[in-house]
């Protein structure tokens, strides 16, 4: 039986797509797609786009099959019982990695581009692909958790991600927005397929939070992943 072409008429050899998104200001929206083929090969593509709408359009054009999950660098849950805007998961990360604690900021102190664009992306993804798994990411803290090193964007970080992800294509990452999107997509993919089993959202589920887009995750490395 011949393979069924997708809606664009192309035959799909892709079995899994996971997105990554880094919200920025004008012209600084990082987007990434981690695709896995039937032979197990991993391909990571990145792009810098002007706004949320352009990022959604790029995701649609890059995904031959609908995406399964997305990692977004934003707050996918909101506190409403703490006047300072701190969530339990934020306090946990600051305590666990004191050398980079300042990179975890309370909801009240975040820039609008992260909060508004990040949540806008979450809403639009759920609107377009209702069953997509959404994962909150913190690329800078995630890099610290996986490597033991402080985040400072440079070429060696792309080399590390190339090796860690085992991507079959050569990663060409132009800026930190693309890098943040790429690690968000790749790590969410790893968690989605069960390579990591920690979910900070579950570990701190006793806290009452608002979930604007419904069920979400906050996947995090296992202790032996470093």
Longest dimension (CA), the chain: 61
Confidence band of 4 (pLDDT split at 50, 70, 90): very low
pTM attached to this predicted model = 0.92
CA separation (Å) from 226 to 145, 170, 196?
Answer: 7, 23, 12
Query: CB–CB of 142/151 below 8 Å?
Result: no
Confidence band of 6 (pLDDT split at 50, 70, 90): very low
Locate all alpha helices (DSSP H) within the chain, ordered by sequence. Answer: 52-62, 88-96, 112, 118-128, 139-147, 155-165, 176-192, 200-203
Query: CB–CB of 19/33 below 8 Å?
Result: yes
Report the CATH fold assignment for 14-217: Nucleotidyltransferase; domain 5 (3.30.420)
- Residue 122: what pLDDT? 98
Confidence band of 3 (pLDDT split at 50, 70, 90): very low
- For the ranges 69-73, 79-83, 138-142, 152-156, the lowest mean pLDDT is seen at 79-83
Query: 27: phi > 0 → left, psi -120 to 50 → alpha, else beta; which?
Result: left
Q: Is the pLDDT of residue 12 over 90?
A: no
- For the ranges 1-5, 18-22, 102-106, 108-112, the lowest mean pLDDT is seen at 1-5
Query: CB–CB of 190/196 below 8 Å?
Result: yes
Locate all alpha helices (DSSP H) within 130-175, ordered by sequence. Answer: 139-147, 155-165
């Amino acid at each position: 039986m011949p393979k069924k072409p997708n809606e664009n008429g192309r035959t799909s050899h892709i079995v899994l797509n996971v997105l990554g998104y880094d919200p920025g200001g004008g012209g600084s929206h990082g987007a990434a797609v981690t695709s896995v083929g039937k032979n197990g090969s991993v391909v990571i593509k990145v792009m810098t786009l002007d706004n949320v709408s352009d990022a959604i359009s790029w995701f649609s054009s890059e995904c031959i099959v609908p995406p399964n999950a997305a990692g977004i660098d934003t707050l996918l849950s909101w506190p409403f019982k703490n006047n300072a805007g701190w969530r339990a998961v934020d306090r946990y990360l600051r305590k666990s990695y004191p050398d980079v604690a300042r990179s975890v900021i309370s909801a009240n102190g975040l820039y609008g581009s992260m909060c508004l664009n990040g949540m806008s992306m979450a809403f639009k993804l759920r609107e377009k692909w209702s069953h997509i798994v959404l994962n909150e990411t913190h690329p800078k803290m995630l890099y610290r958790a996986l490597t033991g090193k402080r985040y400072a964007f440079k070429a060696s970080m792309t080399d590390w991600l190339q090796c860690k992800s085992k991507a079959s294509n050569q990663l060409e990452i132009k800026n930190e927005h693309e890098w943040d999107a790429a690690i968000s997509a790749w790590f969410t993919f790893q968690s989605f397929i069960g390579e990591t089993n920690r979910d900070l959202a579950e570990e701190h589920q006793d806290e009452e939070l608002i979930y604007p887009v419904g069920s979400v995750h906050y996947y995090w490395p296992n202790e032996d992943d470093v």
